[in-house]
Structure 1
Amino acid sequence: MARPDRRTADALRPYEMHRHFQKYPAGSVLIEMGNTKVICAASIEDRVPFFLRGTGEGWIAAEYSLLPSATETRTQREAVRGKQSGRTQEIERLIGRSLRSVVDTKALGERTIMIDCDVIQADGGTRTASITGAFVALVEACASFYEKGKIFPVKDFLSAISVGVSHEGVPILDLCYEEDSRAIVDMNVVMTGVGRFVEVQGTGEGRPFTHEELGELLALGEKGCRELISYEKDVLGGELVWLVGREG
């Protein structure tokens, strides 16, 4: 099977993250997965949703947007249309849920960290790239208020990747748009550093998939997530990587 960029079935696209991409957020990252590029920024707000007021717990929320020029055909801004699409809302919830799964909300204190994920170029896998990049931005943001000797709010590493069954029937890792648009099965996998699944979103778009195919896709997803988490550690470096999971 020949992939558009001649990768093997179990290979990620070339990837890179640039920290401190923006001046003003407490944490910011530009993540590139092949031709997909997303700016992920983490801003700290000294307030929480009404249901957490007085509890001593914090919150992680996400906003996601696709710039009009991010795709081959210009996409109208949702602000112009006057409402968010169901897809956007779904992705925002996914990013928020994923990040909260590795956060100690008590250690966060009564503050909200707002994660903004802005896709400046889309070529498949924008939601999974957003989660991976947002995690690094989140660690940066939490480090900005962390006090030595206390529990660091981020308990474990986190990454996400897409997997699928190609139109030729082959399980593949990290689909670009051309592959995703023709895939028989499409799936997103979110995993923690200790290897636990946070979320698995899979759909048989061309046909139902088998238990065997599901196992192959999960194995590919785990491989991709582990590779990205290893890279996250390199990106964070000795300056921050030791904070994740620290309890004092």
Structure 2
Amino acid sequence: GEVTLRVDCDVLKADGGTRTASITGAAIALRDALDRMLREGVLAAPVEILPVAAISVGMVDGQALLDLNYLEDSNAEVDANFVMTGDGRWVEAQSTAEGKPFSPEDFIRMAALARKGIDELFTLWAL
């Protein structure tokens, strides 16, 4: 029959990026839960899920920074969150100017940096 899983994320200790940490953590937890359910016979066949990871990026003093800590986030001119699938498609690309507007070029720089960080996070799926 059908199985419903509820994934609840509580970030107990963080220095910024709690939302993106929750997204990546929840995706990995779901994969682990499905693997366990298959091993224990709860599932008759593997369930294919699309890997998802998320990361924060910001502009601080005109520089794009990955996974900002609290101090960097507090001083950011732009705060952005990026969520991507394992096959390179965007789920979310959200950014907010924290004062003055920013350029399309800044957004492109942040997206490129996010892609590098997310690619690194996808190595966790192989563990």
> Same-fold call, TM > 0.5?
yes
User: How do 1:144-223 residues align onto structure 2 when only pairs under 5 Å count?
Assistant: 144-146=36-38, 147=43, 150=45, 152-154=47-49, 156-166=50-60, 168-223=61-116
Percent identity over the alignment is 50
Counterpart CA distance in 2 for 1:184 and 1:151 is 44
Larger Rg: 1 or 2?
Answer: 1
Contact between 1:183 and 1:206, CA under 8 Å: does it hold in 2? no
Partner of 1:135: 27
Structure 1 residue 116, shift from structure 2 partner: 1.6
Letter in 2 for 1:159: A
Higher strand content, 1 or 2: 1
Q: TM-score, normalised by structure 1?
A: 0.47
1:52-85 residue CA offsets vs partner (Å, 9 max, x unmatched): xxxxxxxxxxxxxxxxxxxxxxxxxxxxxxxxxx
Structure 1 residue 122, shift from structure 2 partner: 2.3
Structure 1 residue 151, shift from structure 2 partner: 5.0
Aligned residues: 123
Structure 1 residue 171, shift from structure 2 partner: 1.1
Structure 1 residue 110, shift from structure 2 partner: 2.8
- Which of 18, 32, 41 is the matching residue for 1:126? 18
Q: TM-score, normalised by structure 2?
A: 0.88
Q: Describe the SS at the equivalent of 1:123.
A: coil
Structure 1 residue 228, shift from structure 2 partner: 0.6
Higher helix content, 1 or 2: 2
Contact between 2:35 and 2:46, CA under 8 Å: does it hold in 1? no
User: How do 1:1-248 residues align onto structure 2 when only pairs under 5 Å count?
Assistant: 110-146=2-38, 147=43, 150=45, 152-154=47-49, 156-166=50-60, 168-233=61-126, 235=127
Counterpart CA distance in 2 for 1:200 and 1:112 is 28
1:184-236 residue CA offsets vs partner (Å, 9 max, x unmatched): 00000001111110111210112111110110000001000000101331x2x
CA RMSD of aligned residues (A): 1.5
Letter in 1 for 2:69: C
